Amino acid sequence: MITCGPIGFMRTLAAALVFASAAPLAIAQVHATAPASDEAPRAPTIEPARSLLRAVSAPFLTEDESRALRLEHGLWTEADLSDPRWAAKAAIAVGAWDHPSLQDEGADPLDRAEALVAIGEGEAALDLLNDLDSIRALRLRAESLLVLGRTEDAAREAARAVEDRASMSGEDASALVEALRAGLVRTRVEGAQHAAGDFHGIIGALGQARQGAPLSWRVRLLEAEVLQAKSNPAEARAAITEALRHHPRLAPAWRLIAEQQVDTFGFDAATAIAGRLDELTGELDAGPSAAGALVRARAALRVGDPETAERELAGVLERFPNHQGALSLHAAAAARAFDFDEAQRRVDAFAERSPGLADAALAVGVALSDARQYAEASAFLNRAVELEPNRAEGWIELGMLEMQWGRDSAALDALRTAARLDPFHTRVDNALRLFTELLTYDTLDSEHFRVRFRPGIDRVLAEEMLVELEAMHERVTGDAPGSIRHVPSERTLIELMPDHAWFSVRITGMPKIFTVAAATGRVIAMESPKSGPRSSTGPYDWLRVVRHEYVHTVTLSRTNNRIPHWLTEAAAVHLEDAPRDEQRARLLAGAYAAGELFTMDRINLGFIRPEKPTDRALAYAQSHWMYEFMIERFGDEAPLRFMDAVAEGLLQPRAFENALGVREADFYESFMAWAGEQVVAWGLALPRGVPSVEALRTRAAIAAMRDDEGEQDAPARRGFVFDPDAEPVFDLGPITTIDADSLPRVTPAQLDAWLDEHPAHPKLLGLKVRAELERRNGRPDASMLELLERYAEARPVAELPHRMLVTLYRSGEAIASGRSPEGVIPHLEWLDVREVYSPVYAIELARLYADAGARTPALEKAERAVRISPFNAEYRDFAARISLVQRDIPRAERHIRALTVLEPDEPMHRARLERLRELRASEH
C-alpha cells in the first residue's frame, strides 16, 4: 500500500511542517496537559512571567498604579472592574464587544471605538474619534475608514500615524505598536512600497521595543501577527507564548493559537481554545465569544461541515450584524455547501457594506481551494485581487491555487505580484524558485499525459513512462472490476522532480514532506526514484505509486473534487492491484481488537492530523478495508454510486443513504462485523471454539494443579476459570512470560501436544516456528519445511514463512529434501507482489524464469526490476539480454540506450547500440 495522497490539504501540510519546527521551549510553555481518554481536550495553561508578577506586586506601587498594571496585563480582580473605565479595558482584552461598559460614556472613547471597529461599526467608531489625534486614534480612524471601504481616506489617516518618526524609535512601545498597525493598514491599501510595509523594519523595530519595554504584550502580539502572516507559524507561536505570559487573558493571542490549530487540523485543540475564549467573556458576564465562534466555524468548514459553521456564525451575526470576519465566513459556508449562487450573493452583500474590500471573496476562495473546487475558487480569488490589488494575501492564495491546479502561467503571474507586494513570504519565495527551475524542464506527451522532467539522467525514465502511463489509464478509467469508469477532461501532467527537496516545494511550498508523490487534481508530482542523499526513499515502484495518484486525479474529476478524503484514498489503494501486506493486516487487526479503528467522523483526521505514529497508516489501511467491504456487500459499482452522490453535492451521511440505501451508522456497524471475520481469515484471530494460547496455558495449569493436589476444587479456589465456548480471543503479541509460582512455562513438548490437538492453530504454529528458529540461531533447515508451509497456510498474511522458505530453496536444502527447484517461485512471487521499494525479488524471479526457459515471465520480471530501480545499470543490462533472447529488438535498444546515459564512459554500450540499430534496419 502506498501512503501518498491528494493535496486538498497541502496548505495545511506546509503549515504543519513549519509549525513542527517551533522551539521546544515555546511548545512546552503553551502545550495543554494531555487529558484522560474520556476527557475533552483542554486549552493550554500559561503561567504569567515571573517578572510581570514581581512588577505587579511591587511594594512601592500605589493602589491606582497596581490596578492599572493588573488591568494592562490581564491580572485583574473583580474589584478592579467596578468602574466602567476599567471594565471596558478588560472587555477589550477578552473580546466582550457587547459588554455594558463599552456603551458607557464614562469609558475611554478609544476603548469604545476599538470595540466598534472590531464588530464592523465604522461610522459609530468615527463619531467617537472626532477631535482625537493620538496615534491610537489615528490608527483606529484608519481602520474605521477601511471597514467602510473608504480605502484612500484610510491610507491617508494611516500615513499621519506613521509620520511622527519619534513614535518608531522604540522608546514608547505602545505608540510604536500603534504606528506599525497603522502602517499595516497603509500597506494593505497601497502595497509594501514604503517604510511602514518593510518586514525587516517592522521586526527590527519590535525587537528594539521589546528591549525597551520587556513587559509589553502589545509588541509581542503584533510580532506574532506579522510572523503568522508571513507563513512563519513556528516563530509566531513563540511570540504568542510571550504575549500570553504577559497577558494571560489576551483573546487575540488565544485566537492566533486556535487558528494555527485549525490550519494544521488540530480541531480538538482549536475547540478547546474556543471554549477558553468563551470562558474569558463569561468571566465578565458577557455573551459567548465571537472569536470562539469564528474558530469553531472555520474548523467546521475545514472538515466540510457547513451546517455547523452556519449555526456558529448565526449567533455572532445576530449580535453583531456587521462583523466582517463573521460575514466573510458566512459567505464561505455557503460556498462549502456548494451553493455558489448564495455564496456570490453574500459576497455582494459584503461589498455593499464595505466597498472595495476583498475579505468575503478571499474567504470564499480559500474555502473552495481547500475543497479542491479550483475553477470556482479561482473566480472568487480573482475577484478578491480585483477589489484589493495591493493586498498580498489574495495574490498568494491565487498563486498557490493556480499552481496546484497546474495552470503555470497564471500561477507565475500571481506569485510574481505577491512577491512584489510581500517580498518576505517564505512559500512565495520557494514557489518562484520552483518556477525558475521548471522553466528549464523538457516535456514529452501522449494522448492522456504530459511528463515534465529536468534534462539529464531523468530523461531515461521519462521516455519510458508514457507507454506505461497509457496502459495504467486504461486500467483506472476503463470497465474492468474496480475501475472508476471515468476519463478526466484534461491531460494529466506528471512532474518528475529530480529530488525530494524540489518535489516538496512543488507540492507545499516547503522543502520537506512525508511522501514521494502527490496529486493536486490534474497535476501529479513525483520524486525521481534514485538512490543518493537527496532522495527520501531511493528506488520505488514508480508506476504503482503514480497509479495510486492517478486514481485521485480520476476520482476527483468524477466527483467535481468533492470526494471524501478517505474514499479517494481507499479507491487509490484498491487500484494499486496489490494484496495487503502483513504489516497493514496486523495494524488493522490490532486496532480492531483494541477498539481503536477510526469512526466515520474521525477517519479523515487520521490522514491530516495523526495523533499517534500509526494513525496515518491506519487511516489508509482502514479506508481500503471499508472500500473492500462496500464492494463485497453492495456490489462493484457501489463506490461509483457513492462518488456520484457526493458529486451532486450530497454530504457523506446523505450519500450513504442515496448510494447504498443504508445509514452511515448501519454501514459502519456491518463493516465492523465483517472486519472481525476478515481478521480470523488472516490468521490473526481465532474462530469461535478455538482456544487461545492463554486459555491453553490456563487449562494446562489447572490440570497440573489437579495432579499435584488431587483436589477437584483447587482451580476454583485459586481463581482459575476456563470457558471453552468463550468469544474469539485476539492473540497478536509475543509469548507472555508466566509467573513460575502460578502457571507453568510452555515446554516444547507441551507446544507439540497442543499442535497435535490444534494442527492449524495460527498462533501455535507461529510460536513453534519462532522456537525452532531460536534453536537454530535464526537459520531454518530442511526439517522445518513442512512446518513453514503449514504456518503460511494457517496465517496467509505472514511474511516470515515465505522468506524462510526462500532461504531454504536458495541454500539447496529444500531441493536436497526432494522439493522441485521451481518450488521457490510461488514464495518469491508472494514477496514480490507486496514489495514497493526493492527490486531484489523481481530480479531473482527474472533469473529463475530465464534459467527455466520461461522467457515471457522472465522479461516481465526484468522489466519490473527496472521499473523499481530505473537507474541501475546491472538490471538494465539483464533486461536488454532477455529482450534480445526474445527477439524484442526495440525493447533491447531502449535499455541499451539508457545504459549509454547511465554509464557514458563505457564504449561497449554505444557499440551494442549501433549493432542493434543495424540489426533493426536489416530486418526492415
Over residues 384-397, mean pLDDT: 95
- Highest mean pLDDT pick, 512-526, 671-685, 738-752: 671-685
Q: For residue 4, what pLDDT band results from cuts at 50, 70 and 90?
A: low
DSSP bridge pairs for 449: 492
pLDDT band per the 50, 70, 90 thresholds, residue 170 = very low
The string of pLDDT tens digits covering residues 10-63 is 343 343 333 333 322 222 233 333 333 345 567 778 899 999 999 999 999 999
pLDDT surpasses 80 at 504: no
**Closest by CA position to 419, among listed 437, 406, 405, 435:** 435
* Backbone CA torsion sign across 241, 243, 249, 255: negative
Residues 570-600: pLDDT tens digits? 999 999 999 999 999 999 999 999 999 999 9
Cα 393 to Cα 184: distance, rounded to the nearest angstrom? 13
Lowest mean pLDDT among 6-10, 273-277, 527-531: 6-10
What mean pLDDT value characterizes the chain? 87
Residue 2 pLDDT greater than 90, yes or no: no
At 795, the pLDDT band (50, 70, 90 cuts) reads very high
Q: Is the pLDDT of residue 738 over 80?
A: no
pLDDT per residue over 276-317, tens digit each? 999 999 999 999 999 999 999 999 999 888 999 999 999 999
Q: What would the mean pLDDT of 162-186 be, rounded to a whole number?
A: 77
Q: Whole-angstrom Cα distance, residue 787 to residue 357?
A: 75
- C-alpha cell at position 102: 463599552
Size of the chain, expressed as the number of residues it contains: 924
Confidence of residue 510 (pLDDT cuts 50, 70, 90): very low
Share of the chain above pLDDT 90, in %: 71
φ/ψ bin of 485: left (φ > 0), alpha (ψ from -120 to 50), beta (otherwise): left
Percentages of the chain per state (helix, strand, coil), in multiples of 5: 65, 5, 30
**What whole-number distance in Å separates Cα of residue 753 and Cα of residue 740?**
20
Residue 266 has pLDDT above 60, yes or no: yes
Find where cell 460556498 sits.
Answer: 335
What pLDDT does residue 207 have? 85
Q: pTM for this structure?
A: 0.77
Of 837, 909, 872, 911, the residue nearest 457 (C-alpha): 872
Res 734 pLDDT > 90: no
Per-residue pLDDT, 203: 83
Residue 197 banded pLDDT, cuts 50, 70, 90: low
Query: Which among 548, 23, 885 has a CA at the least distance from the CA of 31?
Result: 23
Out of 42-56, 299-313, 513-527, 772-786, pick the least confident: 513-527
The 3-state DSSP class for residue 525 equals: strand
Residue among 922, 924, 893 at smallest CA distance from 910: 893
* 437-466: average pLDDT: 94
Confidence band for 511, pLDDT divided at 50, 70 and 90? very low
pLDDT for 819 beyond 60: yes
Name the pairing type of β-strands 449-453 and 442-445.
antiparallel
CA distance 586 to 572: 21
Supply 95's cell numbers: 473580546
CA dist 202 and 226 (Å) reads 9
Burial 446-483 (b: 16+ CB within 10 A, else e): eebbbbbbbeebbbbbbbbbbebbeebbebbbeeeebb
275 strand-pairing partners: none
Say how far apart CA 553 and CA 562 lie, in whole Å.
12
